[in-house]
Chains A and B, each alone.
Chain A
Amino acid sequence: MQPIIRVENLAKEYRLGKRDAAYGTLRESIVDAMRTPLKRWRGRNGVSASEILWALKHVDFTVERGEVIGVIGRNGAGKSTLLKILSRITEPTTGSVKLYGRVASLLEVGTGFHPELTGRENIFLNGAILGMRKAEIERKFDEIVAFAELEKFLDTPVKRYSSGMYMRLAFAVASHLEPEILLIDEVLAVGDAAFQKKCLGKMGDVAREGRTVLFVSHNMVAIQSLCRRALWLDRGEVVENGAAGAVVTNYLNKSFGGTGATEEIWDDIATAPGNDLVRLHAIRIRADGDSSEPLTMKTPFTIEIEFWNLVPEAQLHLALHLFTEHEIIAFTTGSGRDLTWSERPLSRGLFRSVCRIPGQLLNAGRHRFNILVIKDKTSMIYRHESEVTFEIVDLAERELSWYGREPGVVQPVLEWTTEHLGAV
């Protein structure tokens, strides 16, 4: 079958450096022209390689009609440039794109909204900017207003709208576009949970209608749930193009690394962190199962701490303070829970304490921890801020249609029961 989008050897070059940055002034151009009158004919040779940035290069892919395809990659990977070329905002430097259907792009919601105009007026203006015909807007007008839930404020200038109302109106217009190909850039990053729900619900509708959607997002849960296929870009090149689940996993692996290598080791007892009483030998994170895979919210893992006890008959315990990326302590826990050692003093020597952290406890995000060495259950004799950090990624299959990160430092799976106590 004929693909609806065919991208061949696409590349986009940006010139960096003073001359072509942002915008020039006439004087600079004139001075340049006088200094290097042959520059125009020398063409590309006149620009050193360091001044060229390839936002995209050798990009080839096709999209079949009705496919919902996710585009992922780090910031600056070329995702937005790709969308801008597909939506004809900017031109490629080489290569071609063939589109076999009408395109609408949503790189931003509310493009062209004028603050002085009323909601009603902005629906028409924004609709026209997004490529709708006047008759089409008139036909869908009531539907748009109902979707935005702004009947009462239709004749209020949008500058008096709250930001939530503004977003609702903007999205209502955008979601009534009926292109064959829809390009969406991170629209879901804005707005509250209810708004995101609405957006994603609408995207589902769009997909169901058999439209083709190209969707750029950093939200891996949304990508996995909505897209069957994903395209992973890095430094302007396609790294992988395939089933969404596999591409997302590989991308997360590459970006956040497996947990296997995340450890700190000190071999020399003389220089290892610690003091005359205790010194650390190693700290590591070990995930259950394949250590090359990213740590998901479901994966149980252990934090291992190896230390030298330098004083005979010491009553030592370890405490662990686990921090979220916002430097909030998610929880604290101590090795005194191990009854074998809770009352028993340690001899001189190397010890290993292991803390087991179950799956479905921590929330997604980057975590770090502090190790505290406690003597006689009361006094802290050493504190170590570990360099070991780990990222917990959210790949949970969701029962509900909320794809954002749930708030909260932890995300335990708790049991719920509901009983019917009788009729009213």
Chain B
Amino acid sequence: MKTLTPNGSSLKGTHEDYQTRAETEAVSAPQPQSLPDQPLVTIEPTKGWVSLQLRDLWVYRELLYFLIWRDVKVRYKQTALGVAWAIIQPLFTMIIFTLFFGRLAGVPSDNIPYPVFAYAGLLPWTFFSNAITNSGNSLVGSANLITKVYFPRMIIPAAAVGAGLVDLAISFLILIPLMIYYKISVTWNILMFPAVVLLTALLALAVGMWLSALNVKYRDVRFALPFIVQLWMFVSPVIYPTSFLPPRFRWILSLNPLTGVIEGYRSALLGRFFNWSALAIATVITLAVLVYSSFAFRRMEKEFADII
């Protein structure tokens, strides 16, 4: 006859736990270790404009990487078309634009075949509009992180912009067959491409970061964003070239930093002349907005956990 034995593992567990506790209580003085004389962190109320704490951002750079990685991993999960969505969006927009603006309305395109012209403009535009939308909503969407863990909050909108860069890279691939088909050759201008991509990302970060902080306090941002994005496209040379406007009004258009950026993409990719002044204006405006928005973000940051 087989005898039933009591659950040996649980008895063993109990014994071990008893020991654990006895040892815990036996612990007296901690190992002597030298403590820094200066506090590692001093927590005090901040007033007015505060420092950016870039060092802190650097310390948490790996978290930025992981959050971008998470966004990319998760974005197309449980979608039938998966990463193809990154291509479908600009591709179909390009086709519609070509039909309506290129063919029907006859919008000029600086002697570039309209599909290539539109697609080269849609690359930065799609990236930019998605980036500011996603990063604008990113803080509110991460309320659970903000109320439970400390890290520099700027990482959240920055990660949303960073994840958009992956989509940009994927949608860039469609431009290659387009350029081959229309026999447009690559020139040395392509060397400027990384610089204009960086500029777009910085501009998206500047705008997205500011909107995301504002969104924490005023949920109006969520409703205003799609509207802003729509209007912004029409004042940017996505559908039409800058030359579409009479020369004396072109400077107004170049006050929009995206003008220099989008023209920059076309110049870099399609070998056109760079409009250096527009690019310079875009760079200056981008940096100015970035500095303002970083400080504004830091100022609003202290309230996030309390009001989100």
Contact = CB atoms under 8 A, between A and B. Distances in A.
Interface of A: 2, 4, 6, 14, 20, 22-27, 29, 65-66, 84-103, 105, 107-108, 111-112, 114, 116-117, 121, 124-125, 128-131, 133-134, 197, 201, 204-205, 207-208, 210-211, 225-226, 399-401, 424
Interface residues of B, number: 55
Contacts of A121: 70, 73
Given A2-B37, A101-B35, A207-B24, 18 more contacts: A22-B307, A23-B308, A25-B219, A88-B41, A89-B146, A95-B45, A96-B43, A97-B42, A98-B41, A100-B39, A111-B148, A112-B149, A117-B74, A128-B66, A133-B62, A134-B66, A201-B20, A399-B18
Interface string B33-48: 1011101111111100
Given A100-B40, A400-B18, A204 B24 contact: yes
Nearest to B41: A99
B265 to A, nearest CB: 33
A108 B220 CA distance: 30
Contacts of A91: 43, 45-46, 302
B145 to A, nearest CB: 5
B148 A401 contact: no
A210 B305 contact: no
A86 B43 contact: yes
Nearest to B42: A98
A26 B220 CA distance: 6
Interface of B: 3, 13-14, 17-18, 20-21, 23-24, 27, 29-31, 33, 35-37, 39-46, 60, 62-63, 65-67, 69-70, 73-74, 77-78, 144-151, 216-220, 302, 305-308
A218 B41 CA distance: 29
B40 A116 contact: no
B79 to A, nearest CB: 11
Given A89-B150, A207-B24, A401-B20, A112 B144 contact: yes
Contact of A210 (B24, B30, B144, B149): B30
Contacts, number: 156
Given A22-B307, A91-B46, A98-B42, A129 B151 contact: yes
A400 B29 contact: no
Given A129-B149, A208-B23, A401-B17, A89 B305 contact: yes
Residue among B27, B29, B67, B69 with most chain A CB within 10 A = B27
A14 B147 CA distance: 15
10 A-B pairs closest in CB distance: A66-B30, A210-B30, A204-B24, A98-B39, A401-B17, A97-B43, A88-B150, A128-B66, A90-B305, A26-B220
A45 to B, nearest CB: 18
A54 B269 CA distance: 59
B74 A23 contact: no
A93 B40 contact: no
A66 B35 CA distance: 12
Contacts of B307: 20, 22-23
Nearest to B27: A208
Contact of A23 (B23, B144, B217): B217
Nearest to A115: B74
Contact of A131 (B13, B151, B220): B151
